[in-house]
């Protein structure tokens, strides 16, 4: 797949399509084993985790149900979260007594998930774990217990495979580092 206009803004491919595919298969296998005999509820946080969720659910062999939430941080900038989280779309079904796995594309400061985990725990799930494709620990402000982690990445601004800058680049099939001049960095 080749998207020349978007790809021109990418300085470097950090994680390629095949690497993502392999990791998703590995995570799916681990989840299928860990939750064997149970039914898992995947809760994805839109919009960034959409491609990861779609691929991960197909790599899981046990029964799953899915639900989607959308949250937005406000008071931040295009590249920074603020810690103030607003729920734009809530769960559509109860998670009480269910084994819940939150599926995220990236954990950066951890502020979004910190809020979300407290919110979801208040709904009394049987268990609550976190799965993230990308972990950027250098920027963490609050500790988040990550149960399933795809890749640890350096403190670079990444786009693609769901991740955006100004709502663009989500459709790149790989994780790339955006050229600093694109977002006004150095």
Site of interaction with ligand PRP (CB under 6 A): 45-49, 73, 81, 104-112, 164
CB of 144 to ligand PRP, least distance (A): 8
Q: Strands, E, within the chain: which ranges?
A: 10-15, 40-46, 64-73, 85-89, 99-107, 127-135, 148-152, 158-159, 175-178
Question: Do 18 and 167 contact (CB within 8 A), yes or no?
Answer: no
Q: Which of 55, 105, 108, 135 is catalytic?
A: 108
Catalytic residue check, 135: no
> What residue number has its CB nearest to ligand PRP?
48
CB of 138 to ligand PRP, least distance (A): 12
114 vs 71: CA distance, rounded Å: 12
CB of 56 to ligand PRP, least distance (A): 14
Question: Which of residues 28 and 48 has its CB atom nearest to ligand PRP in the complex?
Answer: 48
Question: Which of residues 41 and 112 has its CB atom nearest to ligand PRP in the complex?
Answer: 112
Can you read off the two tokens belonging to residue 121? 């725990």
Angle at 7 between CA 181 and CA 164, to 5 degrees: 70
Question: Which of residues 75 and 97 has its CB atom nearest to ligand PRP in the complex?
Answer: 75
Residue positions annotated with a catalytic role = 108
């Amino acid at each position: 797949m080749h998207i020349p206009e978007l790809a021109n803004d990418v300085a470097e491919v950090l994680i390629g399509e095949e690497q993502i595919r392999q990791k998703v298969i590995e995570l799916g296998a681990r989840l299928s084993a860990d939750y064997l005999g149970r039914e898992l509820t995947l809760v994805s946080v839109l919009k960034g985790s959409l491609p990861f969720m779609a691929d991960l659910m197909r790599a899981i062999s046990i029964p799953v149900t899915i639900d989607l939430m959308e949250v937005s941080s406000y008071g931040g900038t295009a590249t920074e979260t603020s810690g103030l989280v607003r729920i734009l779309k809530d769960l559509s079904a109860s998670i009480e007594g269910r084994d819940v796995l939150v599926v995220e594309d990236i954990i950066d400061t951890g502020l979004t998930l910190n809020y979300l985990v407290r919110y979801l725990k208040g709904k009394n799930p049987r268990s609550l774990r976190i799965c993230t494709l990308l972990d950027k620990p250098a920027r963490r402000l609050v500790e988040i217990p990550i149960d399933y982690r795809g890749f640890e990445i350096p403190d670079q601004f990444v786009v693609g495979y769901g991740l955006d800058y100004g709502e663009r680049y989500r459709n790149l099939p790989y994780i790339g580092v955006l050229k600093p001049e694109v977002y006004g960095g150095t």
